[in-house]
Structure 1
Amino acid sequence: MGSEPRAWESVLAHIEALLVDGTLRPGDHLPAERALAVDLGVARSSVREAIRVLEVMGLVRTQTGSGPTSGAIIVARPVGGMQVLMRLQVAASGFPVEDVVSARLLLESSVAGDLADRASSVDVSDANDLLDAMDDPALTPVEFLALDAQFHLSLANASGNTVISATMAGLRSAIEGYVVAGLAGIADWPSMATRLRAEHRGVLAAIADGDPVAARTRIHDHISGYYRDAAFLPSTSAHPSR
């Protein structure tokens, strides 16, 4: 009694297996609810419950509406429970955008510099995969920014420091919420997306080149530039120490 998994848990296990083995990758959309329900022999309500859990875990982002951009898009692979708990704690508290930006500038500049210092021994393949997914012109701005947030988390994960990874995972909901809210202040999204793609590539190039100063500066300018242009920050912002 009670040992049989609930239907939504079976759906969750199925989707997680597809994520782990690479069948589903960041940037992919989940199959339609109806298709998953038929394939797995469960009710659509069970599929929706599993997707809600995946969204809380930070693995998918959902978008309402119809057409090819609706539904759930994969934004991350499964991660540890510590990251999930940290994210839920931060999301429940809420932080001023200025505090989130300041924390990001300190933390991510340090991470980028450290990765560049250890360029020959770090693995940033997840970050590269996410940038490839972000090159898809069919992505909506919200989908693009969900992948963007995961890109920044992937760099923290590449550091190998579990506390840094958990902290960035905890901030993710706040980060993504503010960057999406900032869309209202961006008049030309296609140009912004092109710029963000180039800046992401520039950060990874500095890391690959083993140039910590360039890595810190580029990620600092990338983060502060978006918030400034989205009308969150003043036009001046201090650079990290060279």
Structure 2
Amino acid sequence: MDAIKSYIIRKGLKSGEPLPNEATLCDELGVSRSSVREAIRKLEALRIVSVAHGKGMFVGDMSLEPLVETLSFRAMTDGKNDLSNLLDVIEVRRILDLGAAGAVCAAMRGTDQPRLLELTDRMMEAARQGRQFMDDDIEFHSILLRSAGNQVLSQLANSMWLVHMAILPQLDLSVSDDLVRSAQAHRDMAVTAMDGDVDGYRAAVIEHYAPIASIVETYLAQQA
């Protein structure tokens, strides 16, 4: 498996570019066909290699989806209280957003972001009606973090969002009482980012995560 990864790096291959067939890889890497097949199977599961039957093998999209699946499953099976796991995920998301504050505000300062504001308007409307706004939420955070220009950060933050949303429905946890507060925090994040106000942005991030964290902490205290 490491030999094929090294081959991809050495050849400078990018996502979507073709890989040699099994026979050629065996010759180039000096390994058996069974070893190549086993390595390809593992790399395909990790999205490093993509196999299109009848077309060949390609460098995969290297999505963090396997990480999402693993973390989501681990969070629900590791023996800890599911609420404790959710609290851990919330904290990781908060750390990522706070860490990106400077880059996000620098990138968005003085810009117009009509889509961000439209999303916050939709969140506020949904919140007042007691409805969740998950699709708008992930698009909102994706726009902000993509602006930081750090692809790994953006992908990791999106992955943690997906883990968060994978755990949440399992808990039958009501967050409707704090939807408006959360929606307003999104609006504040957008406005402070466009103003280039790093401190204001960080305060809005903390306010954004405070409602769900408070609900989880209250539930945990009641169970203690």
TM-score by length of 2: 0.54
Query: Residue 128 of structure 1: CA displacement?
Result: 2.8
SS of residue matched to 2:133:
helix
Q: Distance in 1 between matches of 2:113 and 2:149?
A: 11
Q: Is the 8 A contact 2:101 2:201 kept in 1?
A: yes
Report matched runs for 1:123-202 at 5 Å: 124-137=113-126, 143-180=132-169, 184-186=173-175, 189=176, 191-202=177-188
From 188, 208, 222, the equivalent of 2:194 is 208
* Residue in structure 2 matched with residue 7 of structure 1 by the alignment: none
Q: Is the 8 A contact 2:127 2:180 kept in 1?
A: no
What's the % identity of the aligned pairs? 21
Range with bigger deviation, 213-222 or 112-121: 112-121
Query: Residue 120 of structure 1: CA displacement?
Result: 3.0
SS of residue matched to 1:160:
coil
Deviations 1:164-216 (A, max 9, x none): 11111221221223444566244xx2x52222221111111111221101111
C-alpha root-mean-square deviation of aligned residues, in Å? Answer: 3.3
User: What is the letter of the counterpart of residue 91 of structure 1?
Assistant: E
Task: Note the residue ranges of structure 1 that are not aligned, 5 or more in a row.
Answer: 1-79, 235-242
Q: Distance in 1 between matches of 2:127 and 2:99?
A: 33
CA 120–93 in structure 1, closer or farther in 2 if over 3 Å, else same? closer
Larger helix share, 1 or 2: 2
Deviations 1:94-124 (A, max 9, x none): 2422331221121111223322233337675
Structure with higher Rg: it is 2
Q: Distance in 2 between matches of 1:92 and 1:159?
A: 27
Q: Distance in 1 between matches of 2:99 and 2:165?
A: 20
Q: Is the 8 A contact 1:112 1:212 kept in 2?
A: yes
* Residue in structure 1 matched with residue 50 of structure 2 by the alignment: none
Q: Is the 8 A contact 1:86 1:166 kept in 2?
A: yes
Query: Residue 87 of structure 1: CA displacement?
Result: 2.9
User: What is the letter of the counterpart of residue 144 of structure 1?
Assistant: F
Q: Distance in 1 between matches of 2:131 and 2:168?
A: 9
Deviations 1:16-60 (A, max 9, x none): xxxxxxxxxxxxxxxxxxxxxxxxxxxxxxxxxxxxxxxxxxxxx
* Residue in structure 2 matched with residue 108 of structure 1 by the alignment: 97
Q: Distance in 1 between matches of 2:184 and 2:112?
A: 20
* Residue in structure 2 matched with residue 55 of structure 1 by the alignment: none
SS of residue matched to 2:109:
helix
Q: Distance in 1 between matches of 2:205 and 2:188?
A: 9
From 61, 71, 78, the equivalent of 1:93 is 71
User: What is the letter of the counterpart of residue 194 of structure 1?
Assistant: V
Q: Is the 8 A contact 1:89 1:170 kept in 2?
A: yes
From 221, 227, 232, the equivalent of 2:207 is 221
Task: Note the residue ranges of structure 2 that are not aligned, 5 or more in a row.
Answer: 1-59, 76-84
CA 233–145 in structure 1, closer or farther in 2 if over 3 Å, else same? farther
Q: Is the 8 A contact 2:102 2:198 kept in 1?
A: yes
TM-score by length of 1: 0.51
